[in-house]
Amino acid sequence: MKTQPKAKKVNKNWLHDHISDPWVKLAQKEGYRARAAYKLKEIDEQFGLVRPGQVVVDLGCAPGAWSQYLRRRMAPEGAASGQLQGSIIGLDLLPMEPIEGVTFIQGDFRDEAVLAQLEAAAQGRAMDLVVSDMAPNLSGIASADAARVAHLIELAVDFAQQHLKADGALVVKLFHGSGYDALVQLFRDTFHVVKVHKPKASRDRSAETFLVGLRLKRPA
């Protein structure tokens, strides 16, 4: 008797869950590129982060669902095109299909040339909000994956310290597991207010959650 390889079973289960997922269906109906838009939507509604007129940076923006949500929030009557009040700058190592009103920069924000592009796009203004849905390619080796996740969050925190307004906010994705407590502490050392939130659009079995940091602590 032949048995299906485990990888194929996992892929088939994921595909079934994906197709039947109500958030996927809603994203398709409302024109979002991914269900992740509803994670940011819930976080925004919970903490009141996004307002017209802001300068917002979306780190790890591809395929663009978070930038789409930001664009609608910062437009009159939530329009997906037309007038935009504020600036949205998306960065990613991967390419992204254009979104009207969103300035996309492909590259690594640690590179001086990429950082110069970002600062030019911001026209010298400090950021009101930095959001990061960045996640590394996971190897399945827990210690190595935890280190990669921690590194991305540390980079996002460092970026925020350099570019956020004093009353700005940072949102990052992280995962429960090794290093989780240390990353929460990093946020507490960096921000006056720290919130942990798991949106309803995050799958129940997923270890992902989101950290929200409000109002930067400045060095003495």
Q: Which residue has the tokens 């970026």?
A: 159
Burial class of residue 179 in the structure, from the number of CB atoms within 10 Å of its CB (0-12 exposed, 13-18 middle, 19+ buried): buried
The domain spans of the chain are: 1-30, 34-216
Per residue in 139-157, pLDDT tens?
777 777 778 889 999 999 9
Which residues carry a binding-site annotation for S-adenosyl-L-methionine?
64, 66, 92, 108, 133
Alpha-carbon span 136 to 129, nearest angstrom: 22
**Annotation says 198 is catalytic:** no
**pLDDT tens digits for range 161-199:** 999 999 999 999 998 878 899 999 999 999 999 999 999
pLDDT at 22: 86
Q: How many CB atoms are located within 10 Å of the residue 8 CB?
A: 9
Binding residues: 64, 66, 92, 108, 133
Average of pLDDT values for 88-109?
95
Determine phi and psi for 207, rounding to 5 degrees.
-85, 0
Residue 207 vs residues 94, 183, 211: alpha-carbon distances, Å:
24, 15, 13
Q: Which fold has domain 34-216?
A: Rossmann fold (3.40.50)
**H runs (alpha helix) in the chain:** 6-20, 22-30, 37-47, 65-73, 112-121, 142-163, 180-190
Whole-angstrom distance, CA of residue 162 vs CA of residue 190: 12
> In this model, does residue 6 exceed pLDDT 70?
no
User: Which residue shows structure tokens 């919130």?
Assistant: 195
Looking at residue 12, what is its pLDDT?
Answer: 55
- Helices vs. strands in the chain: H and E counts, helices first: 7, 7
Q: Which of 39, 41, 165, 173 is catalytic?
A: 173
Cβ-proximal residues to 85 (8 Å cutoff; 6+ apart), any chain: 52, 53, 74, 75, 76
Whole-model pTM?
0.88
